[in-house]
Amino acid sequence: MMQTRTRTFLSLAALAVLAACSPDTTLSPNGAAAPDASMASAMGQSQSYLHARVCPGAEVGSARCHSWVRVDAKGAPLATTTPSGYGPADLQSAYNVAGATATGTIAIVDAYDDPNAENDLNVYRSQYGLPACTTANGCFRKINQSGGTTPPRANGGWAQEISLDLDMASAICPTCKILLVEASSNSFANLSAAVDQAAKQPGVVAISNSYGGSEYSSETTDQAHYNHPGIAVTVSSGDNGYGVEFPAASQYVTAVGGTHLVRASNARGWTETAWSGAGSGCSAYIAKPSWQTDAGCARRTVADVSAIGDPNTGVAVYDSYAYRGSSGWMVFGGTSVAAPIVASVYAVAGNTSAINYGSYPYSHTASLNDVTSGSNGTCGGSYLCTAVTGFDGPTGLGTPNGAGAF
């Protein structure tokens, strides 16, 4: 058995290079990044690499995407001609949805345009033997926040986020249709308009949102844009560790935390711990929904459930938009990975017309993998920042074990 080796990649000089190269190049919360699935997943170990945030910091009233990409010492995304990181078979195995079929539409809401979205999506699907999902065959559609076909301006960072979201939806539910709704900008006003537009489209059963920003007092009314009964609305919990962001704090959504996922010699074949970067905690403004009964938070507690998020155990994504000069196969992490995974499990379950917002998992915990170790920060040892048996902040009730909890 190989011993875990700690590899230190970052000198002070390298950190200086990173700081100088881009305002949105920073280190991941774990100090590094994602293993190739071929080695780390087989050994139940993960190596450390360098990662950077995909999207720059957001101004007040705006959101940033919640994804991290593996980069080189200069902050450029590491692109290869063949994939590494977890692929569809890995994720379907980890969450017990292999062979699942569904025909509903998963809506992906992001900011700005990815001109290569459809092409890149089908490179990913072809690589892994998934059926084509194109405009021509009726599987894929792309619209703007008004429902039209004229795209907003393109943005390289958000294009990577779009590729990630489309690939994760495909990985979990290869037979689902996909609707990409592109907001005009990353303002909450435009993103929430895109969510409302997604909910109007025929056949949509789930809407995935992989972004967030600081809470603000008027979110109590703005959250109405995420109130779409009969549609599962998932939101990534954040990538800054302990702390709550909007719209994950909304009582109308399923807030999705993040885990560190590796293979294991147990009955499941996998094990998970809380990812140190996942957002969690107690909302400053939004009331606690009736189905949450934890005593340590008087308002809405984040998260509800979770899935893979740690970039140290990242996923393979194909993107050709050449953000920072890189295109091809890359390895991504962040709760941006987890939100579309959970949205797709909702689609596989085919039960969204009967669910009451994020309440369904709370009465179906037997179909979840409880995550009981790991932490995302300091909060006095509370379950709000530390994984424990049962419900906790970083991982919620746990990760999907089939679609029975959704």
Structure tokens at 286: 């939004």
Query: What's the total number of domains in the chain?
Result: 1
- Decide: 296 and 386 in contact? Cβ < 8 Å: no
Q: Which residues contact 242 (CB under 8 A, 6 or more apart)?
A: 279, 280, 281, 376, 377, 378, 379, 384, 385, 393
- Decide: 157 and 71 in contact? Cβ < 8 Å: no
Give dist(CA 18, CA 196) in Å, integer: 38
Residue 330 lies in a domain: yes
- Decide: 258 and 275 in contact? Cβ < 8 Å: yes
Give dist(CA 406, CA 397) in Å, integer: 12
In this structure, are strands 105-111 and 326-333 parallel, antiparallel, or unpaired?
Answer: unpaired
Single-letter amino acid code for the residue at 176: C
Residue 333 lies in a domain: yes
- Decide: 353 and 108 in contact? Cβ < 8 Å: no
Instruction: Please write down the long-range contacts of 192-195, taking CB distance under 8 Å and 24 or more positions apart.
Output: 192/222, 192/225, 192/226, 192/247, 193/145, 193/146, 193/225, 194/109, 194/144, 194/145, 195/109, 195/225, 195/226, 195/228, 195/233
Give dist(CA 140, CA 132) in Å, integer: 9
pTM above 0.75, yes or no: yes
Residue 252, pLDDT score? 98
Report residue 54: phi and psi, to 5°: -80, -40
Residue 46, pLDDT score? 61
Single-letter amino acid code for the residue at 301: T
Single-letter amino acid code for the residue at 369: N
Structure tokens at 8: 């230190």
Give dist(CA 269, CA 51) in Å, integer: 27
Residue 176 lies in a domain: yes
Q: Shortest CA distance to 102 belongs to which of 128, 131, 134?
A: 131
Mean pLDDT for back-to-back runs of 10 residues, the chain (406 residues):
37 36 43 35 60 90 96 90 97 97 97 98 99 99 99 97 99 99 98 99 98 97 98 98 98 99 98 98 98 97 98 96 87 98 98 92 98 95 96 99 98
> DSSP assignment of 250-319, as one string?
-TTSEEEEEEEEEE-SSSSSEEEEE-TT--BEEEEEEEPPTT---TT-SEEEE-SEEEE--GGG-EEEEE
Report residue 395: phi and psi, to 5°: -120, 0
Q: Which residues of 133-156 are buried (b: 16+ CB within 10 A; e: fewer)?
A: beeeeebbbbbbbeeeeebbeebb
* Chain segment 60-116, per-residue pLDDT in tens: 899 999 999 999 898 889 999 999 999 999 999 999 999 988 999 999 999 999 999
Residue 12 lies in a domain: no
Q: Shortest CA distance to 372 belongs to which of 264, 266, 274?
A: 274
Q: What is the mean pLDDT of the chain?
A: 90
Other beta carbons within 10 Å of 72: 18
Residue 148's CATH number: 3.40.50.200
The number of residues in the chain equals 406
Enclosing domain of residue 387:
24-400
Cα dihedral angle (274, 280, 282, 286), rounded to 10 degrees? -130
Residue 236, pLDDT score? 99
Residue 375 lies in a domain: yes
Residue 3 lies in a domain: no
Residue 5 lies in a domain: no
* Counts for the chain of helices (H) and strands (E), in that order: 8, 19
Residue 253 lies in a domain: yes
